[in-house]
Each structure stands twice: as C-alpha cells, then as structure tokens.
C-alpha cells in the first residue's frame, strides 16, 4: 500500500518538473524557426520570386469577391471602418458631456493613427491571411508534401515560409493605407454628418494633431505586426500534426498567439515611440 500511494505523487512531480523544460524547448524551436525564415528571405526573393508574386495576389484580392473572402483588402476596409465608427460615436458622446465636442477631430487623429488603425488592420490580417498560411502549410505537412520538397533538395523553409513573409510585408503597406483612410473617413462621416459637428472645426483639429511622425510610426507598427503574424502562423502550420483535426487546432492556437503577441508588442511600441507621457506639440504640450 505504501508503494502504490507514492507512485502517483512521483508521477505528478515528474510531470510538473517537465513543464518548464517543455516550455523552454518550445520557445527555442519557435525562435529558431523565426531566425531560419528571416535568414531565408534573400534566397526567397532571388529564387522564388514567382511564388512571392502569386502569394501577393492571393493575399490582396484572392479569387472571390472582396467582402466574401476574396482577399484581405475588403476585410481590412470593413473592420477599420466599423471600429472607427465606434470611436467617433463614443468619442463625440464623451466630449459632448464635457462641453468639448468640437475637439472630436483631435481625438480621431490621435486614436485612429496611433492605436486603432494598426491594431484592427493587424487583427484582420491575422484572421484572414494568417489562418490561411497555417491551413496551407498544415495541409502540406500532414500530406507529407513538405517532406517531399526536402527529399527533392528544395529548401522548404525559404520556399514556403520566407516567401509568405516577404509577400505579407509587401502587401501590408497598401492594405494599411486602405485601413487607415477607411478609419479617417468613417470617423469624419459619423461625427460631421450624423453628429452635427462643424466640418471646418473637425478638419482644423484633425490636421492640427495629425503629424507626419505619427503616420510614420503607425506604419512601423503595421509592418512589425505583419512580421509577427507571418512568422507565428507559418510556424504553427509548418509544425502541425495530428491530421486535419490537428491543422484546425494549429490554426486556432496560431490566431490566439498572434493576437496576444500583437497586444503585447503594441504596448511596448507605444511606450517606446511616443513615451509614457503623451505629447501634443500643436497644443503646446512638449
């Protein structure tokens, strides 16, 4: 009886002691994969540029209608417009309570540029493009197509992952321009047309706070987020296992991981680019 009661405890201790080791092993595998994918970018650009061009077309427009899953551009446009509409409605309502409804253009310029547009566009990119990367690579993994590429002396990482990273970075700039303009137009439409605010006053405070530096920093955020999305989703798809069910689990885990990483990195980038104390030179705040 003594021996039988001790074995479950020993098994529990061993299982718990292996968790930190498994975690470190998984992190090491992930960052090794990320480094290999980034290192394979020059080879992918030189040797697999046709594959990159095909991926760019699939990411941007796809093969169906824009709003019916045909590409990321329609999803980014729609999600950015909806989110900016909520910012306009709630921002105007809150400022009106303080008697400062005329400053709604200021709020739109700061929130849409610094936080809302890059985060919403990145989440749309992860949900539409990233999950597609995971599903494609996962299907190739379980059907042993990746092993076949390796057997034919084709480096699978540059061909499959590095090409997708490059295409994602190329597409994110025009996609983000669409999302950013969509957020600006949606906020202005809600505040001026439906909220009854003066168009001249809105435009004055909007252009007063919208600086080229903020726009450049916003694009930096979008590019960093796109890199994270491509790397995370390609990694989960490349290492998928367990048949079609395993590919589905990998897609879900990849989406959760990328969204969590976007939130953490967004906080760090905001603090590093704009600092803990907000600055507004146009209003006399250094």
**pLDDT at residue 4 tops 60:** no
Residue 181 sits in which domain range?
Answer: 26-274
pLDDT > 70: percent of the chain: 85
Going by C-beta distance under 8 Å and a sequence separation of 6 or more, which residues neighbour residue 85? 186, 187, 189, 190
pLDDT value, residue 186: 92
- C-alpha 284/C-alpha 286 separation (Å) is 6
Q: How many domains does the chain have?
A: 1
Write phi, then psi, for 88 (nearest 5 degrees).
-65, -45
Task: Determine, yes or no, domain membership for 281.
Answer: no
Task: Determine, yes or no, domain membership for 261.
Answer: yes
**pLDDT at residue 224 tops 80:** yes
pLDDT value, residue 71: 67
Task: Determine, yes or no, domain membership for 107.
Answer: yes
Task: Determine, yes or no, domain membership for 202.
Answer: yes
Average pLDDT over all residues of the chain: 84
Task: Determine, yes or no, domain membership for 264.
Answer: yes
pLDDT value, residue 68: 47
Task: Determine, yes or no, domain membership for 282.
Answer: no
pLDDT top residue among 59 and 63: 59
Average pLDDT over residues 35-61: 88
pTM: 0.86
Average pLDDT over residues 205-213: 87
94-98, 169-173, 259-263: segment of lowest average pLDDT: 94-98
Average pLDDT over residues 220-234: 94
How many angstroms separate the Cα of 166 from the Cα of each of 43, 128, 163, 224, 229? 11, 17, 5, 13, 12
Task: Determine, yes or no, domain membership for 19.
Answer: no
**pLDDT at residue 138 tops 60:** yes
């Amino acid at each position: 009886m003594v021996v039988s009661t001790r074995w479950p405890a020993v098994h529990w201790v061993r299982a718990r002691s292996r968790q930190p080791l498994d975690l470190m092993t998984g992190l090491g595998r992930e960052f090794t994969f990320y480094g290999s994918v980034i290192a394979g970018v020059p080879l992918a650009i030189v040797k697999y540029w046709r594959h990159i061009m095909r991926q760019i077309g699939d990411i941007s427009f796809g093969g169906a209608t824009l709003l019916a899953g045909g590409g990321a551009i329609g999803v980014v446009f729609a999600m950015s417009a909806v989110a900016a509409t909520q910012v306009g409605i709630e921002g105007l309502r809150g400022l009106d309570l303080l008697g400062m409804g005329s400053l709604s253009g200021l709020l739109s310029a700061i929130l849409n540029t610094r936080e809302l547009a890059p985060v919403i566009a990145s989440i749309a990119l992860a949900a539409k493009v990233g999950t597609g990367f995971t599903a494609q690579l996962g299907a190739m993994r379980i059907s042993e197509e990746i092993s076949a590429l390796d057997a034919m002396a084709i480096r699978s990482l540059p061909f499959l992952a590095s090409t997708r990273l490059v295409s994602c970075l190329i597409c994110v700039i025009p996609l983000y321009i669409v999302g950013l303009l969509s957020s600006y137009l949606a906020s202005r439409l809600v505040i001026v047309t439906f909220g009854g605010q003066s168009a001249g006053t809105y435009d004055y405070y909007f252009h007063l706070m919208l600086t080229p530096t903020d726009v450049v920093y916003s694009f930096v955020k979008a590019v960093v987020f796109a890199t994270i999305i491509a790397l995370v989703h390609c990694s989960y798809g490349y290492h998928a296992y367990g048949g079609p069910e395993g590919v589905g689990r990998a897609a879900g885990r990849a989406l959760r991981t990328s969204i969590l990483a976007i939130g953490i990195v967004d906080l760090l980038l905001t603090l590093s680019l704009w600092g803990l104390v907000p600055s507004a030179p146009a209003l006399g705040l250094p």
